[in-house]
Chains A and B, each alone.
Chain A
Amino acid sequence: MEALASISIVVGAMLAAIAALGINRFGDVLSRMHAATKATTLGLALTLIGAAIAIPATGAVVKLLLVIVFQFMTAPVGAHLIGRASFRAGLEFHPSTNYDELSSRIRPGGRGSGDDESGR
């Protein structure tokens, strides 16, 4: 049981470290947000489940599960809010971005319109 908790905690911390690496290595807001949201959510779930295995008290387990459920509900919402807001505020894409289908639809005549035929 202790081995299971240990493995779970270490793997979760590794996922968090990978997420932090992604935040630094990726090129624009959307990809950084993608790294930060997905990897940290899974890492948080794993680490907190490991901690819940290590601490057998009922109150502690309830608190840990509460945080997991809350994070699974709010992490996508928060990431969506940030992505939507920065897109509408006119974010800069990384040069390797291939497709942008949204700009021409929310701002006709704005950035991206007319380039849809070439696709790149």
Chain B
Amino acid sequence: MLEFATTVALGLLGLAAALCLLRLVRGGSLADRIVALDALLIMIVLSLAVLAARTGQDTFLDAMVVTALLGFTGTSLVAKYIERRGA
């Protein structure tokens, strides 16, 4: 049950990450790319959590905490940059 559910979830997350990558490449403005990158990082966090639930390994969780912490830092830094220099 859990194995099937994690397989489905990983497939959905892969699809979501591919869509985020598409927006990251197509862009529009810098802000669009940053929004897509932020969402992509959240997809990575989710995938790590699902992998941890599937395998029961704690190592994935440490990587997940670090990724979640770094995502916000990057977003706020680029927001400062956009505000000063323009999109």
Contacts and interface: CB of A to CB of B under 8 A. Distances in A.
A110 to B, nearest CB: 14
Give the size range of A's interface with the partner.
35 or more
Contacts of B10: 13
Interface string A66-77: 110011001001
Interface in B10-28: 10, 12-13, 15-20, 22-23, 28
B38 A36 contact: yes
Interface of B is mostly: helix
A63 B46 contact: no
A92 B46 CA distance: 32
A29 B17 CA distance: 18
A23 B15 CA distance: 13
B35 A71 contact: no
Interface of A: 2-3, 5-7, 9-10, 12-14, 16-17, 19-21, 23-24, 29, 32-33, 36, 40, 43-44, 47-48, 50-51, 54-55, 57, 59-60, 63-64, 66-67, 70-71, 74, 77-78, 81-82, 84-86, 88-92
